[in-house]
């Protein structure tokens, strides 16, 4: 039985390290060109080299996205870039264009993964892509797990599937709404997610309806399909989210790592699934559903809230930068005050609950509170807290009540 790889997104080096720390077997990311997430930080050449070295040191792999729809002018330095990626040890490139595949094969020996943008939805197409040199298919999100498994079986090629994250209302992302609403090409990295917005619908001569959200999909989760991913020999389970926070990356990686390992060990049960559900509800989401993993998505897949997304049961407070036996150094993304109750999320164990009873500045000044975007020192309150395995890159959260809604995407 094939144990699938856990594949996580990385917007920058911090998220790459967080993903690996929380259990990702591989990370996908973009360089400065050729990817579909132009608004992500994306990696410079030196950051890419460092990221690959870091990942390989921790027995993880790096895949680089080259899946934008290219024009002739974009090819001028593509061969040189492929040679660079090969020289630093990149483990694969994600591609959607036949011309790009030809350049990659002529200039390097990089393993080629077919992007979901190519909409591979059947074994006939899969066999053709295999003949073209593709080593792995990232199948379209319109497929069920059973269909994806059949493609792998009949074509003899590795199959990767999205298991978690935001969904696109267009067919495998082939959308041009942003082109016409903002002059930005969705298929060349410029998507502004116009589909998430509410609209007035006008029916011929009738008065326009109230604002409605009719194109925004609910978010995908595959926690209840883990056994099916195994049974159909999927090689990789992919988490969407190259624009998402370190908090999102940490929680999703930790949850799916636990579920994959538990099923492989024969210990996956309802209690663990319930815990996984609660953990994923703690991060921002658009109401989870199983997409087309079991059956084709239908009208129930539309996320109807007009004012934004569910911000989750918890808020992202910050990240542990350093730790000693007596204290932690915490970078804050939200304000913190004495008396606040926080939770530190270790890489594997249960969250560590902590009531903050002292806050110090980096120069040792005692504080009652500290604003966001600050760095603080938090003394560990007692011996039991000192015994916990709190370490660098642990993300920290605090409870949010009640469940508010935000316009963030």
Is the domain of 225 the same as that of 170? Answer: yes
Task: Please list, in sequence order, all residues whose beta carbon lies within 8 angstroms of the beta carbon of residue 103, skipping any fewer than 6 positions away.
Answer: 75, 78, 79, 82
Q: Which of 256, 289, 307 is the last residue of a domain?
A: 307
- Cα–Cα dist 368/17, whole Å: 32
- 175 & 257 share domain: yes
Alpha carbons 9 and 241: distance in angstroms, whole number: 6
Specify the number of domains making up the chain: 2
- The domain that contains 200 carries what CATH number? 3.20.20.70
Token reading at 332: 């804050």
Sign of CA dihedral 245, 241, 77, 135: positive
d(CA 381, CA 391): 16
Per DSSP, the three-state class of 257 is helix
Q: Report the distance separating Cα 309 and Cα 268, nearest Å.
A: 30
> What CATH number did the domain enclosing 380 receive?
2.40.30.10
Residue-level pLDDT at 188 = 65
Query: Are 7 and 239 in contact, with CB atoms under 8 Å apart?
Result: yes
Alpha-carbon dihedral 39, 33, 172, 28, rounded to 10 degrees: -80
Successive 10-residue mean pLDDT values, the chain, 409 residues? 94 97 97 66 91 98 92 92 97 95 97 94 96 96 96 97 89 75 72 79 73 86 98 97 94 98 98 97 94 90 82 95 94 96 95 94 96 95 82 92 45
- Structural domain ending residue among the three candidates 260, 284, 307: 307
Residue 349 shares a structural domain with residue 283: no
**Residues 6 or more apart from 231 whose CB is under 8 A from it?**
149
CA distances from 169 to 26, 173, 178, 262 (A): 27, 7, 13, 33
Same domain for 379 and 254? no
The pLDDT, as a whole number, for residue 30 is: 93
Q: Are residues 293 and 343 in the same domain?
A: no
Per the structure, the complete domain to which residue 343 belongs is given by 314-406
Whether residue 345 sits in one domain with residue 283: no
CA distance 7 to 62: 9
74 with 127, same domain: the answer is yes
Residues 49 and 146 reside in one and the same domain? yes
Q: What confidence score (pLDDT) does residue 389 get?
A: 86
Task: Indicate whether 137 and 262 sit together in one domain.
Answer: yes
Q: Residue 52 in contact with residue 21, Cβ under 8 Å?
A: no
Cβ atoms within 10 A of the Cβ of 242, count? 25
- Give the separation between CA 248 and CA 66, rounded to whole angstroms: 24
Domain final residue, candidates 283, 307, 331: 307
pLDDT at 272: 97
Partnered with residue 30 across adjacent β-strands are 65
pLDDT of residue 407: 41
> pTM of the full predicted structure?
0.92
Alpha carbons within 13 A on the beta-carbon side of 14: 17
146 closest CA partner among 125, 123, 129: 123
Per-residue tokens: 104:
């990659």
Alpha-carbon span 231 to 217, nearest angstrom: 27
Cα(143)–Cα(146) distance, integer angstroms: 8
As given in the structure block, the two tokens for residue 273 are 């699934």
Query: Quick check: helix, strand or coil at residue 105?
Result: helix
Residues 289 and 320 in one domain: no
pLDDT (0 to 100) of residue 364: 94
**Do 252 and 334 sit in the same domain of this protein?**
no
Q: Are residues 322 and 289 in the same domain?
A: no
Measure the CA–CA gap between 198 and 308, rounded to whole angstroms: 9
CA max distance for the chain? 72
Determine contact, residues 93/64, Cβ cutoff 8 Å.
Answer: yes
């Amino acid at each position: 039985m094939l144990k699938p790889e856990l594949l996580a997104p990385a917007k920058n080096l911090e998220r790459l390290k967080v993903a690996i720390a929380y259990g990702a077997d591989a990370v996908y990311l973009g360089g400065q060109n050729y990817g579909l997430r132009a608004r992500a930080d994306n990696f410079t050449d030196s950051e890419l080299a460092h990221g690959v070295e870091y990942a390989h040191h921790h027995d993880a792999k790096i895949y680089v996205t080259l899946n934008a729809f290219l024009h002739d002018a974009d090819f001028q330095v593509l061969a040189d870039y492929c040679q660079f990626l090969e020289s630093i040890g990149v483990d694969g490139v994600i591609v959607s264009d036949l011309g790009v595949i030809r350049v990659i094969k002529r200039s390097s020996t990089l393993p080629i993964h077919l992007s979901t943008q190519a909409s591979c939805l059947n074994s006939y197409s899969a066999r053709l892509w295999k003949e073209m040199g593709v080593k792995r298919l990232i199948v379209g999100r319109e497929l069920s797990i059973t269909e994806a498994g059949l493609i792998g079986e009949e074509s003899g090629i590795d199959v990767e599937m999205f298991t978690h994250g935001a969904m696109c209302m267009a067919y495998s992302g082939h959308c041009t709404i942003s082109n016409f609403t903002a002059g930005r090409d969705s298929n060349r990295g410029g998507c502004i997610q116009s589909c998430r917005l509410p609209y007035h619908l006008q029916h011929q001569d009738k008065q326009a309806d109230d604002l409605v959200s009719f194109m925004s999909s609910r978010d995908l989760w595959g926690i209840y399909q883990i056994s099916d991913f195994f049974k159909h020999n999927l090689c990789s389970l992919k988490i969407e989210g190259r624009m998402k926070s370190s908090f999102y990356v940490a929680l999703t990686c930790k949850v799916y790592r636990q579920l994959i390992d538990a099923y492989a060990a024969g210990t996956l049960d309802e209690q663990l699934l319930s815990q996984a559900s609660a953990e994923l509800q703690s991060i921002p989401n658009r109401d989870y559903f199983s997409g087309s993993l079991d059956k084709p998505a239908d009208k129930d897949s539309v996320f109807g809230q007009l004012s934004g997304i569910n911000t989750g049961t918890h808020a992202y407070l910050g990240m542990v930068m350093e730790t000693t036996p007596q204290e932690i150094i915490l970078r804050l993304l939200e304000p913190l005050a004495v008396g606040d109750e926080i939770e530190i999320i270790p890489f594997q164990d249960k969250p560590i609950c902590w009531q903050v009873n002292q806050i110090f500045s980096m120069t040792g000044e005692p504080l009652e509170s500290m604003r966001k975007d600050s760095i603080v020192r938090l003394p560990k309150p007692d011996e039991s807290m000192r015994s916990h395995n709190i370490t660098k890159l642990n993300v920290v959260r605090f409870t949010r009540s009640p469940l508010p809604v935000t316009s963030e995407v």
